[in-house]
Structure 1
Amino acid sequence: MGVFSALTTAVSGMQAQSYALENISGNIANSRTAGFKRVDTTFADLVPDSALNRQIAGSVAAFSQATNSIQGDLNATRIETNAAINGDGFFVVDQRLNGVGSNMQFANSNLYTRRGDFDFDANGYLVNGAGYYLKGLKIDTVTGSLIGTQPEVLRITKEQFPAKATSSIEYRANIPAVPGTTNASNGGSHLLDGASVTAAVAPAVYDTVQGANITNFLSSTIPGGSVTVYDSLGKATSVELRWGKTTNAAPAVPADPTAVPPIAGSPATADTWSLFVAQDTSATGTATAYVKAPTAVTFDATGQMVNPGTGNITLPEMMIAGTMISTAANPINLTVGSNGLTQNGDVSGQIDARSIRQDGYTAGTLDRTSVSADGQVIGTFSNGQVVALAQLSVARFNADNALKRLDGGAFEETIESGPPIIGLGTSQLIGGNVEQSNTDIADEFSKMIVTQQAYSANTKVITTAQEMLRDVFSIIR
C-alpha cells in the first residue's frame, strides 16, 4: 500500500501548492489595490494513526493566513476626504441596498475596511472606491456634542451655516498714561472736558456726544480701533472705539488732627477713562454722534486695571447704520480679562491695540471638508468658520486576523474575532492619504518560485510511483 499512499500524498501536495499559488496570484493581482491585505498560506501535516515505529510523514493540507494587522504604506493623494489609519483599526462602513438620493436604503449592518479612499458622491455621502459608505456620528455644530450613540451612514450636505450675532469682543490694548490728544498737542489739557463735548451742564455727566461737538470731542480723545460686528441675521456693522481720560490719579491726603478745626484727609483717586462708541460720525446739531459705555475704567499706580473687576465692559445700547447693537436683552461685552487692558507709559500717546476680535459671523456655505487626526470631519465655511461636522467611527478587534473577508476589501465580524471596540485608541487618522496594499511583490515572487519547485517535486513523486507500479506489473509477465 506504500506506493498507492505515496500517490495520494503527492496529490495532496500538488493541491496544497496549487492553493498556495492561488493566494500568491491573488496577492500579486491586488498589489495596487488600496487597503488590500495579502493572504499567506500555511501548511499542516496530516498523519494517520499507526504504531509508534510505523508512523509515516503523512500528507499535507493548506490553509489561509490573514495579514489584516499588517499595515501597508501610506500614499498621499491630496484629496482631503481620503483618510488612512496609522495603527490598528478599521473604518466602519455599510452597503447600499437600493434607492437613490435621500431615499437611499442601506443594509444597516456594520462592515469594516482599511480602504480609506472616501469621497463625496452626488448626494453628500462619503463612499470609497469599492462602493462602501462611511459611517460615524454627527456632531452638533452649535454645542459640539455627538448626536446619538450608534454609527450611521454619514451624509454631509452643503446647507447654509447660520449667522451668529456678536456677543463678545476680545480687546487687548495698552492705554497711554498721558493720551496724545490734539488738545494736549496744542498746549491744552489731555483730559476730556465733558462740558465742551456734550450738551450737558454738569461736566461729570456726558453720556452722549452731539454732532455739533464732534470736533471738540475728537480733539479730546484718542482712537481705540474698530471692529466689525454682526447682528442675528448676519448683517455686518463697523464699530469705532475712542477713549477719553477723565481723571488723573491723585495721592491720598492724610488727615491733620492738629489743625483748628481738624482737617479731614482725602482718599487717593485713580486714573479714570471712558470708552465711547461711534453711532453716527456724520451727525450734526443735536443728533447723537458717540455714546459712552456705562462703565468707567480705572487703573492703579502700576498700570493695572482696577475697574471693572469682572473684566467686561458692556457696550452701550445703540443703533448704528440701521442695525441695533448691544441691546439690553443681548448686550455686547468688551472682554479685556484681568490683564488685557493696561495703562503704561507710551511716548506716542496713542493706544496700542494688540488684539480686537469678535465672536459673530455672517451666514456661510460649506467650502471644503477634511479629516483630522482624531477622526473628525472638519468643515470650512465661506464665512471663515471651521466646525467639526462628524466623528468617524473606527473599530478595533482583539483578533483582527479572524475577520471574514468580503469583496472590495471589506470584512465582517466573526465569533473568533470578537466584538468591535469602537474608538481610535492609540491610532491616528492621516487625512489626504490612502493606505496601499501590504503585498510585497519581491516576496511574492520568491514564494512563487518555492511553490513551483514544490509542485514539480510532487509531480516527480507521482512519476516515480508510476514507474514502480510498472515494475510490479512486469514481474507478472
Structure 2
Amino acid sequence: MMRSLFSGVSGLKGHQTRMDVIGNNIANVNATGFKSSRVTFADTLSQTQTGASAPGDTVGGTNPKQIGLGTGVASIDLLFTDASVQSTGKNTDVALSGNGLFVVKSGSDTFYTRDGAFEFDADGNYVLPGSGHYVQGWMATDGTLNTTGAVENIVVKAGKSMAAKASSTVTYENNLNSAALTITAVSGGTKQVLSSSANKITLAAPLASLQVTAGTLPNNDTSSTYTISSISGGTTAGTTVTASTDNPVVIKLSLDGSTYTLVATGGTYTTTDVTVGTTTTQYASGGKVSSATTGSTANPVTLTMSDGTSQTLASGSYTVGASIPVTTTANVYDTLGNAHTVLVYFTKTDVSSANGNTWTVSLTPDTSSDATTAIIEEDDGSVTVLNMEPISTRFTTSGKYDSAHNESSKAILTLSNGSQQTQNIALDLTALTQYSGNNTVKGSADGNAAGTLKSVSIDTSGIITGVYTNGVRQSEAQIAIAQFTNASGLTKTGSSLYQESNNSGTANIKTAADLGVTITPSALEMSNVDIANEFSDMIITQRGFQSNSKIITVGDEMLETLINMKR
C-alpha cells in the first residue's frame, strides 16, 4: 500500500521540477539569446515479485512481475536551437545563428554567450555592457587581420588616428581603345623646348649662370623678354639661394599673359639677380624641341586623323604617328599625407597586326625619350617635380597585356618635392586590356592622408571595419566564435553566460566563416522560448501533478479503510 504513496510523491516532485523549468522558460521569453530547457522523465527502480522464466518442453515462458516505484527526472536538456533575429539598428549589436557562441572574458575566466548586445565602453573596449565582460577576437595590424593566433580583448578607441601612408604603387585597370585613330598630320599650334640633364635650358642675363633642369618655353624664342613673376623654394642664406633635388628653386616667368615655370635642382644663386619683376631675362640656349605640337586659344592645332577626318583643338599636345593621348589622374600621397595629383598619358604609338599594338605611358603628351619631367603646381604655391622615362606597353593581338614585351621596370615616378624627400612610385599596368570600344582606363594609388576614426561597422563575418575621415575603410578587429561538440552540455552561470563542463567538449575558437555560422549585424537573437508550447506543457504538467496528488489521496483513503477494519 505504501508503494503507491511513494510513487505519487515522486510524480509530484518530478512535475514540480518540470513546472519550475517551464516557469523559467516563460520568465526569459524576452531574454536576448536565451535558450530554453525541457524536462524528460524516466521510471525509477521496480520491485520484482517474480522473475521471468524461460520456455520449457511442456510449458511456455513467463514474463517477470514487477511493480514500479515511481518516476524521476531523467534530464533537463538545454535546447540550443536558433531563435528569430530582431533588427535593432544599433551598429554594435550582433546576432548569431548556427552552432556557435561568442567568447567573453572577465579576468582569467572565459565565458560563452549568445547575447550579442555589445557596445564600446569609455576606453574603447568592446564589452557585454550588463556585466562588463570583454568580447574576444583578433585585432588587426594596419588593417591586416591574422586569425591564426590567440584571441584577445577587442579594443577600438573613439577618435583613433590613422597615420599618413606614402603611396608606393599606382595601379591602372580597365580598357584602352584598340580602335583609337592615329594622327597623320598636324598644322598650327606651337612646340615646346624640353629640358633634361643632357639638354639643360640656360637663361640669359641677369641669370646667365642659371641652368634649369625642368621647364618649358616657346620654341625658337631667343629674343623675347620675360618677367620673373615669382621665386620660391631652395635654401636661403643671406643674399644667396641654393637649389637641391629635395628643395629646388622654382622660377615663374611670364610673357604676354602666359606663365612658364622653370625649376633649378642644383646650384647656388644670388637673390639680387633673381628679383621679382626683373624684365631682362631671355631664353638663351639649351633644351630640345618637343616632337609634340601644343594647341592654344591664340594658336589652335589642327589634326588630320588616320580615317581622313580633321579636328581643331585649342588645348593639349599631339604627335604625328600617335593617337590623341588618353589622360588619367591619380592622387598619390607623400610621407606626410599630402596629396599630389599625377597626370599620366597613354598614347598609342605603334600599330602592328603581327605583334599587337604598343602604347607609350608618359608624364607629358610628348612620347619622346627627352620628355621625362612634369611639374605639379600645388594649391599652396609650391611645386612638385615628377620624373619618369616614357615606357612602352604592348598588348597581344587578343587584347591582353603582353608581360613579355613591357617595360614595367622603368615605370617609376620620382616625387622630388614630396614631404621634402624623393619618393619612388611604381606603375602597375598588368590589369590593362586593349579592346575596341571606349577608353575606360583609370589609375588608383595606395597610400592615404592622415585621418581620424569616425564610425565603425560590422559585417556578416564579424569583421569590425573602421571608417576614417580621410575616406579610408580599414579592418580593425574580428569577433571570435566558439563551437562545442555538445553545446547542450555547457554549464549555465547566469547573466546569459555559459562555461565549459565535463560533457560539453572543449571550445573550438575560429571565425564565423570557418565554423559555418552566420552573424547578422545590427540585430539581436531573440529567446527561443515557444510560448504556445510552454503553455501546452504547463497544462500537461498541471494535469500530471493533479493526477499524482490523487494517487496520494486515494492511497490515504485506502489506508484509512484498512485501519478502520479493526473497529
* TM-score bracket for this pair, using the shorter chain length: 0.7 to 0.9
2:194 to 189, 194, 198: 198
Residue 340 in structure 1 maps to residue 437 in structure 2:
no
| Equivalent runs, 1:433-444 vs 2, <5 Å | 433-444=523-534
| Equivalent runs, 1:293-332 vs 2, <5 Å | 293-297=388-392, 299=394, 309-311=406-408, 314-319=411-416, 323=419, 327=422, 330-332=423-425
Q: Deviations over 1:172-219 (max 9, x none)?
A: 4527755679x83x468xxx96xx43257999x998442556696544
Partner amino acid, structure 2, of 1:220: Y
Match of 2:153 in 1: 153
Match of 1:449 in 2: 539
Pair 243,54 (structure 1): closer, same or farther in 2 beyond 3 Å: closer
Q: Residue 92 of structure 1 contacts residue 134 of structure 1 at CA under 8 Å; is this kept in 2?
A: yes
Pair 169,211 (structure 1): closer, same or farther in 2 beyond 3 Å: farther
Q: Deviations over 1:400-421 (max 9, x none)?
A: 1111111011111111112112
Match of 2:339 in 1: 236
Query: Which region of structure 1 is more displaced relative to structure 2, 400-409 or 126-135?
Result: 126-135
Q: Residue 273 of structure 1 contacts residue 298 of structure 1 at CA under 8 Å; is this kept in 2?
A: yes
Query: Which region of structure 1 is more displaced relative to structure 2, 115-124 or 15-24?
Result: 115-124
CA distance in 2, matches of 1:396, 1:250: 61
Query: Which region of structure 1 is more displaced relative to structure 2, 444-453 or 117-126?
Result: 117-126
Which protein has the bigger helix share?
1
Secondary structure of the residue aligned to 1:51 is: strand
Secondary structure of the residue aligned to 2:68 is: coil
TM-score, structure 1 normalization: 0.77
CA distance in 2, matches of 1:5, 1:248: 106
Pair 318,60 (structure 1): closer, same or farther in 2 beyond 3 Å: closer
Per the TM alignment, residue 160 of structure 1 is displaced from its structure 2 partner at its CA by 0.8
CA distance in 1, matches of 2:317, 2:336: 36
CA distance in 2, matches of 1:140, 1:202: 46
Residue 473 in structure 1 maps to residue 563 in structure 2:
yes
Query: Which region of structure 1 is more displaced relative to structure 2, 26-35 or 353-362?
Result: 353-362
Secondary structure of the residue aligned to 1:31 is: coil
Identity, in percent, stands at 28
Match of 1:220 in 2: 318
Query: Which region of structure 1 is more displaced relative to structure 2, 444-453 or 463-472?
Result: 463-472
Q: Deviations over 1:259-298 (max 9, x none)?
A: xxxxxxxxxx97756433641469xxxx999856214325
Per the TM alignment, residue 470 of structure 1 is displaced from its structure 2 partner at its CA by 2.2
Q: Residue 315 of structure 1 contacts residue 332 of structure 1 at CA under 8 Å; is this kept in 2?
A: yes
1:210 to 206, 209, 216: 216
Per the TM alignment, residue 20 of structure 1 is displaced from its structure 2 partner at its CA by 0.6
Match of 2:128 in 1: 128
CA distance in 1, matches of 2:494, 2:501: 16
| Equivalent runs, 1:385-464 vs 2, <5 Å | 385-423=472-510, 424=512, 425-464=515-554
Partner amino acid, structure 2, of 1:210: T
Partner amino acid, structure 1, of 2:332: V
Secondary structure of the residue aligned to 1:56 is: strand
Residue 279 in structure 1 maps to residue 375 in structure 2:
yes
Match of 2:29 in 1: 31
Secondary structure of the residue aligned to 1:418 is: coil
Match of 1:174 in 2: 176
Q: Residue 312 of structure 1 contacts residue 336 of structure 1 at CA under 8 Å; is this kept in 2?
A: no
CA distance in 2, matches of 1:379, 1:289: 32
TM-score, structure 2 normalization: 0.66
Q: Mind listing any 5+ residue stretches in structure 2 that lack a counterpart?
A: 51-63, 202-211, 220-259, 261-291, 295-315, 320-324, 365-372
Per the TM alignment, residue 310 of structure 1 is displaced from its structure 2 partner at its CA by 4.8
Pair 236,13 (structure 1): closer, same or farther in 2 beyond 3 Å: same
Q: Residue 386 of structure 2 contacts residue 416 of structure 2 at CA under 8 Å; is this kept in 1?
A: no
Secondary structure of the residue aligned to 1:352 is: coil
CA distance in 1, matches of 2:93, 2:48: 58
Query: Which region of structure 1 is more displaced relative to structure 2, 5-14 or 434-443?
Result: 5-14
Per the TM alignment, residue 29 of structure 1 is displaced from its structure 2 partner at its CA by 0.8
CA distance in 2, matches of 1:24, 1:211: 91
Per the TM alignment, residue 224 of structure 1 is displaced from its structure 2 partner at its CA by 1.3
CA distance in 2, matches of 1:85, 1:273: 51
Secondary structure of the residue aligned to 2:4 is: helix
Pair 199,470 (structure 1): closer, same or farther in 2 beyond 3 Å: closer
Match of 1:100 in 2: none
Per the TM alignment, residue 136 of structure 1 is displaced from its structure 2 partner at its CA by 1.6
Query: Which region of structure 1 is more displaced relative to structure 2, 13-22 or 307-316?
Result: 307-316
Partner amino acid, structure 1, of 2:428: T
Secondary structure of the residue aligned to 2:48 is: coil
Match of 1:162 in 2: 163
Partner amino acid, structure 2, of 1:439: V
CA distance in 1, matches of 2:9, 2:333: 81
Q: Residue 42 of structure 2 contacts residue 71 of structure 2 at CA under 8 Å; is this kept in 1?
A: yes
Pair 211,376 (structure 1): closer, same or farther in 2 beyond 3 Å: same
Q: Residue 75 of structure 1 contacts residue 435 of structure 1 at CA under 8 Å; is this kept in 2?
A: yes
Equivalences, count: 425
Secondary structure of the residue aligned to 2:545 is: helix
Q: Residue 167 of structure 1 contacts residue 359 of structure 1 at CA under 8 Å; is this kept in 2?
A: yes
CA distance in 2, matches of 1:228, 1:134: 38
Secondary structure of the residue aligned to 1:417 is: coil
Q: Residue 274 of structure 1 contacts residue 292 of structure 1 at CA under 8 Å; is this kept in 2?
A: no
Pair 8,243 (structure 1): closer, same or farther in 2 beyond 3 Å: closer
CA distance in 2, matches of 1:353, 1:209: 30
Pair 298,83 (structure 1): closer, same or farther in 2 beyond 3 Å: closer
Pair 14,345 (structure 1): closer, same or farther in 2 beyond 3 Å: closer
Match of 2:99 in 1: 88
CA distance in 2, matches of 1:370, 1:419: 31
Which protein has the bigger strand share?
2
| Equivalent runs, 1:2-21 vs 2, <5 Å | 2=1, 4-21=2-19
Match of 1:255 in 2: none
User: Which structure has the larger Rg over C-alpha atoms?
Assistant: 2
